[in-house]
Amino acid sequence: MEKKHLVLASGSPRRKELLSQLGYEFSVLVTDVEECKHAQETAEEYVKRLSLDKALAALSLLKDNPSEKQHVASGSDTVVASYLDSETVVLGSDTVVVSQGQVLEKPIDLADSKRMLTQLANERHQVMTAVSVVSEEKQKTEIIITDVWFKPLSEKEIEQYWQTGEPCDKAGSYGIQGLGGRFVTRIEGSYYAVVGLPLFETDQLLQEFL
């Protein structure tokens, strides 16, 4: 039986690292999927749709260009997803932070980061990560919800954190695996889902496809 070809539909270095941690060999293919929440969508529906859209967009791109290699820059590396066949499996994922009924995505500037972190300070919020695995035959999505508690934050702490550059590309304007971890007093759920890819659930999904 031919070995399955796994493609990660994400340019996130954190997801790439976590998928590698599970021991899988894979290519990376990033597509341009608009991240815009529909007015009537719940946070769960939104993160599930984005996760699935990313996976399906990569599958479609490979299908439309079966012989054309897709070169994608990921950090300092260039990786190649080169073909689609019946053995190709694509993994997509998305993460959002939900606080007081609001979806907090990546901050656009310091003011936006301040708004988010002030809202998260001394409160509980939820991190929702969806993982989608698709092939030409089937598709499946899991959503993992983790509760996270923050300590109180001063304006000075928030400004200093922004200056590190870490919040810029993080949902909710913080990274639990980095300096932002100092703000977290407690979590209930999956730490790795907060980072960007829940290891257990991702592995279970992939075993159904690979």
So which residues are the catalytic ones? Answer: 94
Question: Crossing angle, helix 110-120 and helix 155-163, to 10 degrees?
Answer: 130
At 46, the amino acid letter reads: Y
DSSP SS3 for 168: helix
Within 10 angstroms of residue 158's Cβ, the number of other Cβ atoms is 23
CA-angle at 142, arms to 138 and 148, nearest 5°: 165
First to last CA, the chain: 11
